[in-house]
A and B are shown apart, each in its own frame.
Chain A
Amino acid sequence: MSSDIKRRDFLKGAITGAGVGVLGAMGAYSYSGARKALFPKVAKKMNDIGTCKSIKVTNISETSWFDNQTLVGDVKGAGGLLVDQYSYNWPPFGNGKGLGKGSYDEGISLIKEYLPHDIDKAWEITQKNSINPDNAGGYSCLLEVEELDGQVRKFLLDSGWSYKWMDESFKREGIDKMLENREIEALFISHEHFDHYWGLPVTLKYDPSITIYIPEGFYPEGKQYIKDAGHTGKLVEVKNGLYKHIPGMATYVFPIPIICRVYGEQSLYFNVKDKGLVSVTGCCHQGIIRFAETACKELKYENDQLHGIYGGLHISPFDDWDPKYDDLVISLQRYGFERIGCNHCTGVLCAKKFISAGYPVVEGTARHRSKDKAYLGNGDTITFG
């Protein structure tokens, strides 16, 4: 056998062996327990956001829409969950052309002149041009942060969707007067979704100069809407990551893609003296576990305890289900929350599974069109601290 043939045989063997070696190592090591030794140890950042005495949340409205079948039917008819929300032809951007054929520019041109001073007229117009306008509700809550010196500072999280429903809800909870009296310092928009954001003119009707915080990631239509809705105050686009506001209160922007062509969500952390960390969310598209894990990695908080959570936890917003949600129900116990107030996109089924699993869910009163007592419903309050 010539040396050339021997060399070729060696090469053929070496190449075949390399394939076997790579695949063998991939199979044997990649999912073995030993692999965990390679994971970097992430040091806790211990960002200090200060402390507050307590935080009270008043649920102005958690019913973003009133009938799942109607809303999901619209989504299905328009082409699914990836369709741009401004093209669904939902209010207030209805252009009269039918489901899935809407556009921001056409819709806003019909109502812009009435914003924000005459939202009744604007809603009357959009009702005629939109798909299922009476199904629109909205998500919004009032946050009352008590500082260590006893001073109470008020903020709004989100401004809902339907002008009509949100205006009624604001009046029911006295938000209209608080805004007129400039008692509410700022409006935080959790994300650009229709049910959290499109009711913006209702807030601006009572206080057009209110400071607005939006998360990074808004699409051009969303940014334009702030101008078109008649905002005259300061606008802050919060960058991804942690943003400290007042002692004991911070927001965190998560850069995540969300259905209906939305990007990024802003949620809130409160560090309550002697209790622990409280998380308040709009929809929590980042996931409640990731929200909690982010707190664990990034923040320093009282007793190293995750004390409470309030808001839409975005698990089964349409009461749909998926086994991965069971992963959440099973895993949540690891985090030791002491008070859970959930509603909105959590899903009634999920809230009931939480209760069945023995989690400390604070139940509501099922008033003002909230569906079930498993939810902390419209008009209900929860206090942490």
Chain B
Amino acid sequence: MERYGEQYLEERKLVKRWAGPIPALVSLLLTLTVFYATWWIFQDPRGLMRMYTPYIGYMYCRWWLIMMIWMVYIFNFWPFKRKWLETAHPLVKGTVLTLVSVAILLALIKGFFEGFLGNYGLAYFNPEQLGKLDGVTSFFAAEYSALAILMFAAIASWLSPAWVVAMENAPWKDLKQPARGFSVLVVTFFLSTIVYFVTMHPHMGILYHPWQYFTSIAPPYWENFADTVSGNFHVSWIMCCTVVVWLVETIWQRYPFNLIKNDWLRRFATFAGIILIALAMHFFLYFAQELTWGEAIRGTRRAFSPDWRWLHVGEMAIFFLVPALFLTFYCENWPRKFSLPVNIAIRTIVCLVAAVLLYIVYYKTSHLFLGTQKGFSHPQQFPMIPTIWLINIWLAHHWFMDNWPAWKMVPKTQVEIEAEHRAAEAEISMIRLTPKFVTGMGAGVVIGVLIYIGTIGALPKLYAFIDIIPKN
């Protein structure tokens, strides 16, 4: 039977061409070079295409991420054949797959959202339709429509991988491609549409004057809870969901949800767990800003406004994803020699420290080389764009190009595949709900709460000590 890319990522063995950290460093250097060259060509406000307007650039950046998720996670590289995936040169493979992802991206944005939905359903998806409104300039028509389209992407970039990671492609797990891919695509697109209508559509409904009372809830239902009518409140937790999905999939190795033996219980627990962890992040990162910058003031602009604070929660979350993906893609998910919880704890701490460092470096220096502006809260300052742009390049490099040139792809033998499965099962089976484990867990909860208390106590002092952007 013809094989496509099912299990390709799991069944490929990436062999380092050089020992030690050299492959990771070479890959980092190479991908950063590609990042900067492509940033200059496509996004940089001083560069060639200047798509960082910011929403237009963000829309393409965000949907490109989803295109790759669709191609790799949902369709398993279908219709590309397994033999081609294994034998084509990574450069050829990378070029072809990237071009295909961009072609689908353009068809989706120009054809589906702007052309179809924007012309026959909701005018705000199409800049030309918006431009017909009195007082809406062509620039803002393009920005508003890009905002709506990218908001859809934000939701899809959580739900699309979540169905694979949490729901394990159920109930279409055993279908062949493309039947499985289309099934998952349709259900995740459907769910994204529902979430879009109850989170971002009310935001769009009050974006225009007068408020569209008859077609959206105005003012939105979250106004009092979130202290803003802006949909950024939802951007925040949805962004955290996106980040948590990938943390669960990469550095957390789906732990602790993979301890649950019952399939459906495990799936729903993982799906719900991702949302709950994301909500914890969502609230904590907002609180962290209150502790360092002071209480938000509704109605003001920039760093003190609740709407920007919620947006910044999503921005902070994405800084956490960057080191997590680097650790998984280029450091073989280091460390692997301890028990699963210990490995995960070390990776989490490493990623947290790296995220904080990246955050500081970004805000101290990005305006010097990315063409963005100094400061945290500029309305056109979107760290999500460069970070996701870099992640996109890593995804293309890791998924489409097998980490070439620092790694070489060799298909695993059946023996290796089976040994790996046994090792994974053994790793989980080593975690037993013994009385000592339960006692340890109880003690751990107390320690966790103490860590939280210590963190919120230290945050204001730490922030004052670091002084990321000196005021004088």
Checking A39, A259, A285, A323 against B380 with a beta-carbon cut-off of 8 angstroms, the contacting residue is A259
Q: Is the CB of B280 within 8 A of A20?
A: no
Q: Which residue of B lies closest to A347 (CB)?
A: B135
Q: Which residue of A lies closest to B147 (CB)?
A: A322
Interface check A328, CB cutoff 8 A: yes
Q: Is the CB of B440 within 8 A of A26?
A: no
CB distance from A23 to the nearest CB of B (A): 5
**Contacts known (A31-B286, A286-B302); A320 close to B452, Cβ less than 8 A:** no
**Contacts known (A16-B341, A327-B228); A24 close to B449, Cβ less than 8 A:** yes
Q: Mark B442-453, 1 if CB is under 8 A from A, else 0.
A: 111111111111
Q: Is the CB of B440 within 8 A of A257?
A: no
Interface check B283, CB cutoff 8 A: yes
Q: Is the CB of A16 within 8 A of B441?
A: yes
Stretch with Cβ within 8 A of A (4 or more), from B91-99, B108-116, B368-376, B404-412: B368-376
**Contacts known (A25-B448, A30-B284); A80 close to B137, Cβ less than 8 A:** no
Tell me the bound Cα distance from A258 to B378 in angstroms: 7
Which residue numbers of A lie inside 8 Å of B, CB to CB?
1, 6-27, 29-31, 35-36, 38-40, 42, 68-69, 72-73, 75-76, 78-84, 87, 100, 216, 239-240, 255-259, 261, 263, 285-290, 293, 314, 318-324, 326-332, 334, 349, 353
Tell me the bound Cα distance from A11 to B344 in angstroms: 13
Interface check B185, CB cutoff 8 A: no
User: In the complex, given contacts A17-B443, A68-B137, A331-B300, what are 4 additional A-B residue pairs having Cβ atoms less than 8 angstroms apart?
Assistant: A15-B344, A26-B281, A81-B380, A257-B381
Checking A100, A261, A326 against B206 with a beta-carbon cut-off of 8 angstroms, the contacting residue is A326
Q: List 29 A-B contacts (CB under 8 A).
A: A11-B341, A12-B431, A13-B443, A15-B341, A16-B444, A17-B441, A18-B451, A20-B445, A21-B446, A23-B277, A26-B284, A27-B276, A29-B452, A30-B283, A31-B283, A79-B53, A81-B379, A82-B371, A83-B46, A257-B378, A263-B375, A289-B300, A289-B301, A320-B136, A321-B209, A328-B300, A328-B301, A331-B297, A349-B135
Q: Is the CB of B375 within 8 A of A257?
A: yes
Most buried by A among B46, B219, B232: B46
Q: Is the CB of B449 within 8 A of A25?
A: yes
Q: Is the CB of A256 within 8 A of B290?
A: no
Q: Mark B286-328, 1 if CB is under 8 A from A, else 0.
A: 1100110011011111101111100000000000000000000
Q: Which residue of B lies closest to A322 (CB)?
A: B207
Q: Which residue of A lies closest to B298 (CB)?
A: A331
Residues of B within 8 A of A75 (CB): 139
Q: Is the CB of A13 within 8 A of B229?
A: no
CB distance from B82 to the nearest CB of A (A): 38
Q: Is the CB of B449 within 8 A of A21?
A: yes
